[in-house]
Structure formats: C-alpha cells, structure tokens
Structure 1
Amino acid sequence: MKWRAKDAELYLHSKEYIDTAIIPIVSVQLDSNWKSIVTKGEYTSLITEELERQLKGRVFLFPSSTYVEKEFSLPFIRKLGDSVNREFRHVVFITTEEEWKDALEEFQVITIPHVPLEDLSTALKQKMVQDQIEKILNILLQYWNGS
C-alpha cells in the first residue's frame, strides 16, 4: 500500500494485517555531488517501491522524507517515526546513507548500498534490485520475528 487515498481507505479496513510502515530517507543536496545524490534517491525509491509491491498487504509505503542537512532534519524525522509508530507496530526507514542508522537508533534503519543504475542493462538492473530486496526481506523477517 502506498500514500494515496484508495490505499489509505483500504488500510483503514484491514489495518490489523498491515503492521509495518516503510519510510525512505533521501538527500536533496544540490552540490558538486548532485548527480550521485539523485541516483541514490532514485535507487532508494526503486527499492522501496518494489519492496511495497512484494509485501503488499503487510507494509504501507510512506512518501520519502527528504533532507538537506541531517542535523536539521533529524528532529523532524524522529518525530515522524514516533507519530507513525502510534499507528503501525513497526517503523522501518530505508536509506543509502549509513549515518542515519546511528542517528535513528530507536528505529529499524536499513541502509542499502548506492548502486548507479543508469548505465546498466534492464536485466542487470532487475537482478541487482531483486538481490537487494532479498537482503531486505531477510532483515525484515528477523525484525518481525524478534519483535
């Protein structure tokens, strides 16, 4: 389920089954590394969209939380996590930035490696995304079983 009206309505009627919120964290810095930052965000979106597709009925995908500088965004993202945690049993942030793992230690933060996909063939892209999804699914299964 995604952040859209029809999925919100469906969630309200079946929330006992949908216990996990997925929240991507994406940088929007416009500096000399701009293209790299954009590709990291694109990859994060691709991974979280596919994760939602494979776990439909168990997870709710929130819009990406964007930030320019982590220290200024950290209070907002923590507050978002706390707010979402009132409705969902599990809150999982997904990002390419390792630093969020320490900053949000009270939440499950999954960091994914940055993979620049623009020069890869479609078949190789799909394989890399599926490999990453399998790793995330394994993390989620351990997380769900431990909670």
Structure 2
Amino acid sequence: MQWVKKDLLQYIQAKEYVDTTIVPLTPFHLSNDTELPKSGFQGEALSIFINQIERDLAGRVMLTPNYTYLKNADKQQEVARLNEWVEDVASQPFNHTFFITFDSKWKKHESMLNGTLLWLPGLQSGDLYAKEMHSVIHDQVTQINELIRSYWETME
C-alpha cells in the first residue's frame, strides 16, 4: 500500500494483515553540482525499487512517504527523527520497519535505528530504462523481497 488516499482507506479496513512499513531514505542537496546527476539518478532508482517491492508484497506492506534529509546533516539527529517516525508507526499493528537507501553513510548508524536498514549498493548512474538496468533492478528487488519475507517467517 502506498501513501495515497485509496490505499490508506484500504489499509484502515485491513490493518491486521499489513504488518510491515518501508521507509525510503532520500538525501537532498543542491550544493555540489557534480553530484546532482548521481543524486537524481539514485532518487529515481529508489522510487522504482520501492514501488516494485510494494507491488510484489502488496497486502502486507505500507510504503511511507520518503524521509528526505540534507545529505550532510548530522546522522545522529536524523536517527532520532527516524526513530520518532517508528514510534508513531508502532501505534499501529506494524511488526517490521525497513529503511531503504543508496546512502552508505547510514551503515555507521544502523544499530541505532529502530528498524532494519536495507542499503542498496552499486547503482551510481546509467539508463534506468535500459533492458540491462531492468534486469539488475529486478534481481535486487527479488533479493530484498526474500530478505523481508525471512523476517516475516521468524515472527510466524
């Protein structure tokens, strides 16, 4: 389910089945022109990833709005803010929260997050609409879906 009215109305009716939230972590900056194309590419790629994951795991996953932060922000402050999101999410029957990002800097703070960090390495640039890129994305989405399902199995 996505953060749109239709899906949220459906969620209200089916809360007991939706036990997982996915929070996309998206860095923002305009201060470095040479990094802007990479940032734009990764933002687009992350959107493709999370939308495919949400479709594949429909009925059990709620996709939150992107958590956007300044790329050079203090990650400890961002961890505190993210954990506030998780606290709010915990008021619903969610058992799992996954944070998905291309930003490797989150790995240093992973243990402080009240959820599971899924870092997507590798994609820096390219043509998101090329057949080869679709294959790479499909393979990574499949692996992420298997990982999320493994967390569900440990709770059953």
Question: What is the TM-score of this pair, normalised by structure 2?
Answer: 0.85
Ranges in structure 2 where 5+ consecutive residues have no aligned partner: none
Which residue type is aligned with residue 127 of structure 1? S
Bigger drift between 26-35 and 112-121 goes to 112-121
Which residue type is aligned with residue 80 of structure 1? W
In structure 1, the residue matched to 2:102 is 96
Structure 2 counterparts to residues 32-71 of structure 1, below 5 A: 32=32, 33-68=35-70, 69=73, 70-71=75-76
In structure 2, the residue matched to 1:108 is 116
Identity %: 29
Paired positions, count: 147
1:126 Cα deviation after fit: 1.6
In structure 2, the residue matched to 1:22 is 22
In structure 1, the residue matched to 2:79 is 74
Match of 2:146 among 135, 138, 146: 138
Ranges in structure 1 where 5+ consecutive residues have no aligned partner: none
Structure 2 counterparts to residues 5-16 of structure 1, below 5 A: 5-16=5-16
2-side partners of 1:61 and 1:120: how far apart?
21
1-side partners of 2:129 and 2:97: how far apart?
33
2-side partners of 1:93 and 1:121: how far apart?
25
Please say if residues 92 and 109 of structure 1, whose CA atoms lie closer than 8 Å, have aligned partners that are also in contact: yes
Closer, same or farther: CA 54–120 of 1 in aligned 2, 3 Å: closer
Query: RMSD of the alignment, in Å?
Result: 1.8
Which residue type is aligned with residue 58 of structure 1? R
1-side partners of 2:136 and 2:18: how far apart?
27
In structure 2, the residue matched to 1:4 is 4
Closer, same or farther: CA 62–120 of 1 in aligned 2, 3 Å: closer
What secondary structure, in the 3-state scheme, does the structure 1 residue paired with 2:23 have?
strand
Which residue type is aligned with residue 4 of structure 1? V
2-side partners of 1:41 and 1:121: how far apart?
14
1:115 Cα deviation after fit: 1.3
1-side partners of 2:90 and 2:107: how far apart?
17
1:111 Cα deviation after fit: 0.6
What secondary structure, in the 3-state scheme, does the structure 2 residue paired with 1:109 have?
strand
Please say if residues 23 and 62 of structure 1, whose CA atoms lie closer than 8 Å, have aligned partners that are also in contact: yes
In structure 2, the residue matched to 1:124 is 132
1:125 Cα deviation after fit: 2.2
1:73 Cα deviation after fit: 2.5
Closer, same or farther: CA 59–131 of 1 in aligned 2, 3 Å: same
1:98 Cα deviation after fit: 2.5
Closer, same or farther: CA 134–79 of 1 in aligned 2, 3 Å: same
